[in-house]
Chains A and B, each alone.
Chain A
Amino acid sequence: MSSVSMGEVIGRLQQEGLLEQGQASLAPAELGNAALATPWYLRFMVGFGAWLAAVFFMGFFTLLTHSKPAALFFGALLLIAAIATRRLDRGDFLNQLAFAASLSGQLLILFGSDIRSATGMALLVLALQGVTIAFYRDKTHRLLSTLVAIAALQALFFEWKWPYAAPALAGLLAMAFTHFWLQGAAYSTPTRDRLLRPIAYGLVIAMFGLLLPSMFPPAFNNDNPFYQHARHLWLSTVLLGAVLLYLVHVFLKERGLRPFGPLAWAGYDAVLLLMWPGLKAPGLIGALIVLLIGFRRGNRLLIGMALLFLAAFLSAYYYHLSISLLQKSAALAGSGAVLLALRWALLKLLPREEKNHAH
Chain B
Amino acid sequence: MDVLGQPATTSRLRHLYRSGILSAGAYERALEIAGITPDASAWRRFLDWLLAGLGAVLLLAGILFFFAYNWADMHRFAKFAVLEATLLVTVALAWRLGTDSHAGRAAMIGASVLPGVLLALYGQTYQTGADPYGLFLTWALLIAPWALIGRSAALWLLLLVLCNLSLVLWWTGVYRPPEWQGFAQGLGPMFGLGYALSDADLAMTLIALNVAALLSYEALAGRIEWLSSRWMPRLAMLAVLAILLGPVLHAIFDKHPDRLSVQLAPLAWLGITAAGVWAYRNWRRDLFMLAALAMEGIVIVTAFLVETLRLQDAGGMLFLSLLVVLMTGAAAYWLRLTAHKWEAEA
Decide: A340 and B59 in contact? CB cutoff 8 A.
Answer: yes
Residue numbers in A under 8 Å from B21 (CB-CB): 19, 23-24, 26-27, 30
Total chain A interface residues with beta-carbon distance under 8 A: 98
Residue numbers in B under 8 Å from A334 (CB-CB): 62
By secondary structure, the A interface counts as: helix
Decide: A343 and B317 in contact? CB cutoff 8 A.
Answer: no
Residue numbers in A under 8 Å from B302 (CB-CB): 52
Contact A340:B17 (CB < 8 A) given known A49-B298, A332-B62:
no
Decide: B7 and A3 in contact? CB cutoff 8 A.
Answer: yes
Residue numbers in A under 8 Å from B10 (CB-CB): 297-299
Interface check A7, CB cutoff 8 A:
yes
Proximity bits, A57-99, B CB within 8 Å = 1, else 0: 1011101100000000000000000000000000111101100
Interface check B283, CB cutoff 8 A:
no
Interface check A42, CB cutoff 8 A:
yes
Decide: A91 and B20 in contact? CB cutoff 8 A.
Answer: no
Proximity bits, B1-33, A CB within 8 Å = 1, else 0: 101111111111111111111111111111101
Tell which of A155-163, A228-236, A321-329 binds the partner.
Answer: A321-329
Contact A35:B59 (CB < 8 A) given known A18-B25, A251-B43:
no
Decide: B35 and A2 in contact? CB cutoff 8 A.
Answer: yes
Interface check A304, CB cutoff 8 A:
no
Across chains A and B, which 3 residue pairs bring their CB atoms closest together, nearest first?
Answer: A333-B62, A49-B328, A336-B59
Subset of 24 A-B contacts with CB under 8 Å: A3-B35, A4-B34, A6-B4, A24-B21, A27-B21, A31-B12, A38-B336, A42-B335, A49-B329, A53-B328, A91-B333, A92-B336, A93-B325, A97-B329, A184-B27, A186-B28, A194-B18, A296-B37, A297-B10, A326-B69, A336-B57, A337-B59, A350-B43, A353-B40
Give A contacts to B, CB under 8 Å: 1-10, 12-13, 16, 18-19, 23-24, 26-28, 30-39, 41-42, 44-46, 48-50, 52-57, 59-61, 63-64, 91-94, 96-97, 100, 184-186, 188-190, 193-194, 251, 255, 291, 295-299, 318, 324-326, 328-340, 342-343, 346-347, 350-354
Give B contacts to A, CB under 8 Å: 1, 3-31, 33-41, 43-44, 46-48, 50-52, 54-66, 68-69, 287-288, 291-292, 294-295, 298-299, 302, 313-314, 317-318, 320-322, 324-333, 335-336, 339-340, 343
